[in-house]
Amino acid sequence: MYMQLLQENVETGHLFAMLNRVLVESKETACGFIAAKIALDENGLNRLRQRLAFHAPDNEAQYLYEAGGGMLAILLPDTKLSHTHYVSLSVKQFMLDEQLAGSPIVITSFPECGVPKEADIRTIYAMTADEADYEDTILIYNQPANKRKHLTILIVDEDETVGELLDTRLRMKGYEVFMANNGADGLRMFNALTPNLVITELSLPALDGYDLIRSIRNRKQTKEECSIMVLSENRVERDISACFELGAADYIRKPYSPVELEARVRRLLG
């Protein structure tokens, strides 16, 4: 199903939440990303969607268009970089056919070109403006290499059995693991450790998982350095969506597969 939105302003946080939701739901755990600054009305956006549907019928693309700034973002579920480049050629040809002046087209694929962070979205948006001399050129964004050597994980769960199992398995994979059994302690440990990843339950004493996520995301100095994974028995779709909107990068339902969880951790930490 296509999702097409025209908005006056598109915040990078909202787009980042959409990107993570696509990655979680995709079969290949991949998402192609195309961005360009281009003047479009609703009819033009519909024509572009039809053009891409013809050239790439298997991609259930999701579109976000910022009418105020003319920023177009296209998410391509289950799409690696090579095919994202193929689709971007159709975007470029559309711009030429419609005689639309535009910025360079910036493409990437997550996590192939790096584990996605909200800072990546801002950098990609900046590239469409900073590289204005390369109009109609296709540029590839690769995330800068992570220079941090030791990856730390904070587990926040009242169930000690869950915490001990995760602690054992993740330490065997080479991660530094810390645990807290309530949200208040989890937040204190987060402030002390600044971990790379927080794995949290939603139902927590002292401070629930929603407030923990919100508190972490409100700390701007650590916002780009830490991913959040929710591990919960809660299966209500509205609550799952709320976690992504708050800034969670992944959501796994209990009971869970340890092998799948380890794969999801690798995706988030690279």
Which tokens is 118 given?
Answer: 């909200």
Q: Give the integer Cα–Cα distance in Å for 109 and 50.
A: 22
Domains defined along the chain, listed by start? 3-140 (3.30.70), 152-269 (3.40.50.2300)
Question: Strands, E, within 83-200: which ranges?
Answer: 105-110, 138-140, 152-156, 176-180, 197-200
Asked whether 231 and 264 are in contact (CB, 8 A), the reply is: no
Asked whether 120 and 114 are in contact (CB, 8 A), the reply is: yes
pLDDT per position as a tens digit, 199-257: 999 999 989 999 999 999 887 555 557 899 999 998 889 999 999 999 999 999 998 88
Q: What is residue 227's predicted lDDT score, i.e. its pLDDT?
A: 92
pLDDT per position as a tens digit, 67-102: 777 889 999 988 888 888 889 888 988 988 888 876
Least confident of 13-22, 123-132, 200-209, 238-247: 123-132
Please list, in sequence order, all residues whose beta carbon lies within 8 angstroms of the beta carbon of residue 158, skipping any fewer than 6 positions away. 181, 182, 201, 203, 204, 205
Task: Count Cα neighbours of 67 within 13 Å in the Cβ-side half-sphere.
Answer: 10
Q: Give the integer Cα–Cα distance in Å for 32 and 22.
A: 10
Q: Give the integer Cα–Cα distance in Å for 230 and 223.
A: 16
Which tokens is 204 given?
Answer: 């927590």
